[in-house]
Amino acid sequence: MNKQHFSYADTSVEKLSFPLSIKVVMIDLDGTLLDTAEDLAFAANLMLRELGKPEQPVDTIKTYIGKGLQRLIKRTLTGDLEGEPEPQLLEAAVPIYRKHYADNIHVHTKPYPGVRDGIDRLLQAGFHLACVTNKSERFTVPLLRSTGFYDDFEMVLSGDSLPRRKPDPLPLMHICNQFNVQPYQAVLFGDSLNDVIAARAAGCRIFCVPYGYNEGRDVHDLDCDAIVPSLIEATQLIVKTSSS
């Protein structure tokens, strides 16, 4: 392994020994598996245009991604990560955004480099694969199908699949329970603070990619176990745990 490709976190109390013994690999969608920013921004600007508001640059809207569609809409309307638009404006905006995104969900969206090869290698090695995202199911499933990844996952958890979503640990704990594994036998590949908080709270391992969204912040500031350039290189840091 060429270690210069990787950054290892030294903030964790536990010193990990690589490769980690893992049974389940959980993968975030937006910003980790797929580059969805341009289509998300396109739908947001169509929404703004319909509402008579000025459009925003893609790079700006990219920083709004990470806490689900509702928060993305709020941030787009207010230009503030924690902004709260007028309730009537939000009520009007949500269905408009949903329509435009559904109509344009796979125009520019594409897998990041190394994703397809990484998924194939994980499958060949026998890992259980789960996709865990805050995107609602009405968008998650069509997007995974249209990009050819849906059948690769044994489980897909969307933002509305359970009562709570990331950064709550519930989705990760649910996946571990479904596969009958201990949390330390599962790793989450993600790109944001949401992913790190969820993984730490659940007791799972967490690898982060540097190319995602993370609300415009540097992923190197996150308390992840490793920062990996791509999914194909992340596979070098884990080995399949035997079933015994």
d(CA 43, CA 15): 44
**Nearest CA-CA partner of 191 in 37, 17, 84:** 37
* H-run or E-run covering 207: strand 205-208
> Helix (H, G, I), strand (E, B), or coil: what is residue 31?
coil
Residue 14 confidence (pLDDT): 56
Q: Any idea which fold 37-103 has?
A: DNA polymerase; domain 1 (1.10.150)
State which residues of the chain have pLDDT below 70: 1-14, 243-244
Residue 13 confidence (pLDDT): 39
**Nearest CA-CA partner of 155 in 175, 137, 171:** 175
d(CA 67, CA 69): 7
Residue 243 confidence (pLDDT): 60
Indicate the pTM of the whole model. Answer: 0.90
Instruction: Give the 3-state secondary structure of 36-93.
Output: CHHHHHHHHHHHHHHCCCCCCCHHHHHCCCCCCHHHHHHHHHHCCCCCCCCHHHHHHH
Residue 101 confidence (pLDDT): 97
Q: Tell me if the domain spanning 3-35+109-240 has CATH number 3.40.50.1000.
A: yes
Q: Is 35 considered catalytic here?
A: no
Tens-place pLDDT, residues 107-120: 999 999 999 999 99
Do the Cβ atoms of 56 and 76 come closer than 8 Å?
yes
Domain ranges across the chain: 3-35+109-240, 37-103
